Structure 1
Amino acid sequence: MADTKIEWATHVWNPTTGCDRVSSGCDNCYALTMAKRLKGMGAEKYQRDGDPKTSGPGFGVSEHRGTLNEPFGWRKPRRVFVNSMSDLFHESVSENFIAQVFATMASTPKHTYMILTKRHARMRSLLRKWAPVTGVTPWVHIGPWPLPNVWLGVSVEDQRWADIRVPALLETPAAVRFLSCEPLLGPVDLWGPVDQYGGRPKLTYWLDGRPGWGPEETTETGLVTQPLTVGPRIDWVIVGGESGPGARPMHPDWARTIRDQCAHSGVSFHFKQWGEYIPESLGAQVITRHTAKTAQYADLKGGHRPANIGARNGAATCHRVGKKAAGRELDGRTWDEFPTVHAAAVVA
C-alpha cells in the first residue's frame, strides 16, 4: 500500500498489476508509462511484459499474493483505490484470486475500498454469481452482501461507453456504484437521449433509480398492498480531464452537464481536475500569469496554438497550461463530494 495524490482516495493497493488497453480512454494510460519506468528501476512487481499491441514493458498482468494480507496491518481507516496499476476484473486475473481480494476486503471492514473497472461484464457476472443466496460463494463471508465497504465503479469516457458500462454496473450488487468520467473525451448525458425537439423519449433512470412495484404484502386486516420501489442508481460521479503527454482537452460544458444532472438528482459529484488544458473562458487569469515562453500552448497535433473543440452548446478554446496551473475549480469552486452508503443502494 502507498499514499496517493489521487484526489478521491488516500491510499492505493495493488494486489494485481498490468493491463491491456480496451477503449479510447486507455490511449494515454498513465499506469502503462509508469510500469515501464518501474521495470527499469528493477521493481519486482513490474518485470513481466505485456502484449506490445495492447500493453507494454512491465505491464503484463500479474497476481501478487503477498499483498493480500497488507490491509490487516493498517491501523487507521483508509479510503483505498484498489488496483491503480491494473484492472481487478481483467480476464487474466483468476476468479480464485479475485475472490481472495474480496475476502480480504470483507475481513477489514474499517477500510473503504474503491474498485474501478473497464471489464464491466466480468464484474457483473462474478458478483451476481457470488451472491450468498446462490450457494456458490467461493469464499467464507459472514455479514451483509454486497460488502458495505466496497464501492464499485466503471470508467466512462464518452456516451458510447456510458451506454455499455453503466447498465452493467447497475446490474451488479454493490453498496455504492460510481462512475469515473476521466479522461472525459466527449459529452455524456446521464438522463437519456435527447430527440430533435429537445425532449427525452427514453429516460435512463441511471441517477434516480427506476421506479417499480415491489412484491405484494398482506396486512393484518387482510388488505393486499404493493409498495412502490426504486431500483439501483449511480451514487457518485467523478469527472476529470486528461493529463500527461498526448493529453486531450475537455470541453467545459461536458463537465457542467454532468455536474448539473448530479445536482438535480442528489448524486455526489467530484471534479478531479481539468488536466493539461483549461478553457480560455475560465482560465484567463491563469494564462496571463505565464511568461511568453511558457505560454506556447500545444494543440492535439503538437503545434503551438490553442486547441479548439466543439460541443452541442458551442465551441471552446482550450489552452495547455499544465495540470497544476489548470487546477480543479469548476465555475469558481472545487467539487469534492462523496457518497453515503444507504441500505437501499445495495439491492441489485
Structure 2
Amino acid sequence: MAQSSIEWTELTWNPVTGCSKVSSGCKFCYAEVMSRRLQAMGLEKYKDGFKKVRTHSTTLADPYKWKGSKMVFVNSMSDLFHPDVPIDFIKDVFKVMNDNLSHVFQVLTKRPERVLELNDELTWSKNIWLGTSVEDERVINRIDLLRLNNASVKFLSCEPLIGSLAGINFSNIDWVIVGGESGRKPRPMKKEWVLEIKDQCEIFGSAFFFKQWGGTNKKKAGRELNGQTYDEMPNEYA
C-alpha cells in the first residue's frame, strides 16, 4: 500500500506488477517508466522489470491492516485482468476485497473482455468499482463490454485522452475521469474533446472528474476547466 497523489483515489495497492501494451493509450505508460526506476533502486518487487507479469501473494494481507475507510486504486502498476494473471489469483484478490467492505476498491483494466469471461466466477461486492480505459474512439468497444459485468459502479478513465469521443453513449456508466497525457513527449489534448465528454456526462447522468490538462509541466497546466475544477464522484459517494 502507498499513499497516492492521483487525484481520484487515496491509496494504491499492487498485488500484481508488470503488463504489456494493447492500444495507443499505452504508448507512454507511466507504470512502465516507474517500474524502471524502482528496478534501478533495487526493489525486489520490480526486479523483473515491467514486461514480466508477477503476482505478489504477500500483499494480499495488507487491506486487513488498514484503518478507517479508504479509496484504493488496485494495480496502478499492472492490470489485474492481464492474461498472464492466473484466475485463482484474481479470485484471491476478489476475496480480499469482499472481506474488506469498509474500503472502496477501484479496479481499472484495458481488458474488459477478460472481465466478462470471469464475471460469473467472481463475487462483486458493492465496494468493488470496475473501470476501463478509453483514450479515443478506436477502443470504444470497451465501454459496451464494461456495461455487461456485475460491478455496482462502472467508470471510464479517458486518460490520456488523445482523440474525440463526441456523441459516445455513457448509459449505465457512473463515472468518467478525463485527463491529458503528461511526460516528456505528451500527445496534445484539445479542450473541445473534454467539453464533448462533459456534455455527454450531463446527458446520461454520469459523474464528471477532470484530472489534468497534462503536458510537459502538468502542475503548471493545472486542472481547471473554464475556471473551475470538476471533482464529481458517483452518486453514492458524492
TM range (shorter): over 0.9
How far, CA to CA, are the matches of 1:170 and 1:58 in structure 2? 29
How far, CA to CA, are the matches of 2:212 and 2:79 in structure 1? 22
Residue in 2 aligned with 1:336? 231
How far, CA to CA, are the matches of 1:254 and 1:147 in structure 2? 34
The amino acid of 1:247's aligned partner reads P
- C-alpha deviation, 1:246, in angstroms: 1.6
* 1:22 is the counterpart of 2:13: no
Matched-pair contact (CA < 8 Å) for 2:133–2:156 = yes
Matched-pair contact (CA < 8 Å) for 1:36–1:59 = no
How far, CA to CA, are the matches of 1:18 and 1:165 in structure 2? 21
Q: Percent identity?
A: 49
- C-alpha deviation, 1:60, in angstroms: 1.3
- C-alpha deviation, 1:263, in angstroms: 1.5
Residue in 2 aligned with 1:130? 121
* 1:323 is the counterpart of 2:218: yes
Residue in 1 aligned with 2:35? 35
Aligned length: 237
How far does the alpha carbon of each residue in 1:180-230 deviate from its partner, in whole angstroms, 9 at most, with x for none?
000000001354xxxxxxxxxxxxxx433xxxxxxxxxxxxxxxxxxxxxx
How far, CA to CA, are the matches of 1:114 and 1:336 in structure 2? 16
Matched-pair contact (CA < 8 Å) for 1:18–1:86 = yes
Q: Secondary structure at the match of 2:144?
A: helix
Matched-pair contact (CA < 8 Å) for 1:124–1:172 = yes
Matched-pair contact (CA < 8 Å) for 2:98–2:124 = no
Residue in 1 aligned with 2:149? 172
- C-alpha deviation, 1:58, in angstroms: 4.3
- C-alpha deviation, 1:147, in angstroms: 1.1
The amino acid of 1:183's aligned partner reads P
Residue in 1 aligned with 2:138? 160
* 1:12 is the counterpart of 2:12: yes
How far, CA to CA, are the matches of 2:227 and 2:90 in structure 1? 42
Q: How does 1:25-104 map to 2 (within 5 A)?
A: 25-48=25-48, 57-104=49-96
How far, CA to CA, are the matches of 1:58 and 1:155 in structure 2? 19
- C-alpha deviation, 1:340, in angstroms: 2.7
The amino acid of 1:14's aligned partner reads N
- C-alpha deviation, 1:75, in angstroms: 0.7
Matched-pair contact (CA < 8 Å) for 2:16–2:78 = yes
Residue in 2 aligned with 1:207? 170
Matched-pair contact (CA < 8 Å) for 1:35–1:59 = no
Instruction: Point out 4+ residue stretches in structure 1 off by more than 6 angstroms.
Output: none
How far, CA to CA, are the matches of 1:2 and 1:76 in structure 2? 15
- Structure 1 residues 249 and 69, CA, compared in 2 at 3 Å: closer, same or farther? same
- Bigger-Rg structure (1/2): 1
Residue in 2 aligned with 1:147? 125
How far, CA to CA, are the matches of 1:327 and 1:77 in structure 2? 28
- C-alpha deviation, 1:124, in angstroms: 1.1
The amino acid of 1:149's aligned partner reads N
Residue in 2 aligned with 1:230? none
Structure 1 or 2: more helix by fraction: 2
Which of 167, 182, 193 does residue 254 from structure 1 map onto?
A: 193
Residue in 2 aligned with 1:113? 105
The amino acid of 1:338's aligned partner reads M
Q: How does 1:163-312 map to 2 (within 5 A)?
A: 164-191=141-168, 206-208=169-171, 233-276=172-215
- C-alpha deviation, 1:3, in angstroms: 0.2
The amino acid of 2:33's aligned partner reads T
- C-alpha deviation, 1:264, in angstroms: 2.4
How far, CA to CA, are the matches of 2:185 and 2:112 in structure 1? 26
The amino acid of 2:142's aligned partner reads R
The amino acid of 1:260's aligned partner reads D
How far, CA to CA, are the matches of 1:45 and 1:341 in structure 2? 35
Unaligned runs of 5+ in 1: 49-56, 132-144, 192-205, 209-232, 277-319, 343-348
Q: Secondary structure at the match of 1:68?
A: helix
How far does the alpha carbon of each residue in 1:271-294 deviate from its partner, in whole angstroms, 9 at most, with x for none?
000001xxxxxxxxxxxxxxxxxx
- C-alpha deviation, 1:265, in angstroms: 2.2
